[in-house]
Amino acid sequence: MMKALLELHDVQTYIDQYHILHDISFEVPKGEVTVLLGRNGAGKTTTLRTIMGLNPAAKGSVQYNSEDITKLSPYKIAKKGIGYVPEDQGIFEGLTVGENMRVAMKKENESTHERMEWVLDLFPDLKTFWKKPGGQLSGGQKQMLAIARAYMNENELLLIDEPSKGLAPIVVEKVMESIQQMKERTTIVLVEQNFLMASRIGDQFYILDDGQTVHQGAMEELQENETLRKKYLGIA
């Protein structure tokens, strides 16, 4: 296995008085797609938010490139090279598609222009609706914009939360294709309920249950282990 880019050790997180994450530990190897699986309420989204510092860990540690980022503020964590695509997409609805992209770009240079071209080739719809406010896009277009935006900077790690949620199958296919392509350039942590999608993209998986990591392995293992899928994911 390659060197871990991200490591979580015994992470515990509270949201207000609620203890959401009890004991989360996992490693994300560089260049791979790590999928976090689990039923609703297992703590997958909170885990991503904890990594980003949006719901900071009360105990345990988050290490990125061997550096402790547990107590850093979100903008400092983002500056380290971690991109985040939240569950609700986080589109700036009053800004146009172009403005959404430019805000995410932070600085303009040759590399970001090259990325912009690549992303627009991947999602030509964004080019068509370049001047349209983000709030007027369809669900699929918003998801494409959210993913494209996270890719605008030279992020070494992308955290993507349920990219297929609420999308039509044809759009899910498109989103999946785009993540497949990004996989070649970036390390990804993917939270996904759609097992078919997760199994096609993922290299390794962690199953979360009641705020704890309860199982891990290679994606092929989970595809073959029906008992495990039934027990933790409720699917045959």
Partner 1 sequence: MGRSTGIYVIIALLLAVLPFVYDDRIILSLVMQVFIFGIFAMSYDLLLGFTGIVSFGHAMFFGIGAYSVAIVLNQNEATLFYLLLGTLLAVAVAGIVSFIAGVLTLRLQSHFYAMLTLALAGLFMVAAEKMRSLTGGNEGFVLMVPDMFIDTSGPTLYLTCLIVLVVFFFLVRRFTQSPVGKVLMAIRENEQRVESIGFSIMYYKVIASMISGIVASIAGVLYVLSLQFVDTSVFATDVTLDALLMTIIGGVGTLVGPIIGAGIIEFAHHWLSDLADVHWIFKRWIILFGIVYILAVIFFPRGIVGTLQEIWIKRKYKKQQGKEATKDKNEAAS
Q: Which class for 203: exposed (0-12), middle (13-18), buried (19 or more C-beta within 10 A)?
A: middle
Residue positions counted in the chain? 236
Residue closer to partner 1 by CB (options 113, 230) is 113
Determine which residue in the list 136, 138, 180, 225 makes contact with partner 1, applying CB under 8 A: 136
Determine which residue in the list 78, 122, 214, 228 makes contact with partner 1, applying CB under 8 A: 78
Residue 163 CB, nearest approach to partner 1 (Å):
16
What Cα–Cα distance (Å) separates residue 14 from each residue in 32, 131, 211?
29, 40, 11
The answer to whether residues 71 and 59 touch, using CB atoms and an 8 Å cutoff, is: no
d(CA 111, CA 90): 24
Give one word for 23, left, alpha or beta, with left for phi > 0 and alpha for psi -120 to 50.
Answer: beta
Residue 76 CB, nearest approach to partner 1 (Å):
8
Residue 224 CB, nearest approach to partner 1 (Å):
36
Q: Two tokens at 98?
A: 């172009």
Residue closer to partner 1 by CB (options 82, 207) is 82
H or E segment and range at residue 99: helix 97-105
Residue 95 CB, nearest approach to partner 1 (Å):
6
d(CA 216, CA 207): 6
Region near partner 1 per CB under 8 A, out of 7-15, 132-140, 179-187, 202-210: 132-140
Find, among 52, 62, 31, 76, the residue nearest to 186 by Cα.
Answer: 31
Taking only Cα atoms into account, the Rg of the chain, rounded to an integer number of angstroms, comes to: 17
Residue 29 CB, nearest approach to partner 1 (Å):
23
Residue 118 CB, nearest approach to partner 1 (Å):
19
Determine which residue in the list 7, 23, 99, 210 makes contact with partner 1, applying CB under 8 A: 99
CB atoms inside a 10 Å sphere around CB 3: 10
Residue closer to partner 1 by CB (options 102, 174) is 102
Q: Convert residues 41-60 into a mask of x (bound to partner 1 by CB under 8 A) and - (unbound).
A: -----------xxx------
Residues at the interface with partner 1 (CB under 8 A): 52-54, 73-75, 77-79, 84, 86, 90, 92-95, 99-100, 102-104, 106, 129, 132-133, 136, 149, 153
